[in-house]
Structure 1
Amino acid sequence: MPNPKRRHSKQRTAKRRSHDFLTPTGVSNCPNCGEKKLPHRACKACGQYKGRATVVAKNAA
Structure 2
Amino acid sequence: MAVPKRKTSKARRDRRRANWKLEAPGFVSCPQCHEPKMPHHVCPECGYYNGKEVVAAAE
What TM-score do the two structures reach when normalised by structure 2?
Answer: 0.74
Q: How many residues align?
A: 54
State the Cα distance separating 1:27 from its structure 2 match. 0.5
Aligned residue identity for 1:22 = L
Which runs of 5 or more residues in structure 2 are unaligned?
Answer: 1-5
Once residues 31 and 12 of structure 2 are traced to their aligned partners in structure 1, the CA distance between those partners, rounded to angstroms, is: 44
Once residues 42 and 7 of structure 1 are traced to their aligned partners in structure 2, the CA distance between those partners, rounded to angstroms, is: 48
RMSD: 1.9
3-state DSSP class of the match of 1:42? coil
Aligned residue identity for 2:11 = K
The percentage of counterpart residues that share the same residue type is 33
Runs of 4 or more, structure 1, over 3 Å off, are none
Once residues 11 and 29 of structure 1 are traced to their aligned partners in structure 2, the CA distance between those partners, rounded to angstroms, is: 41
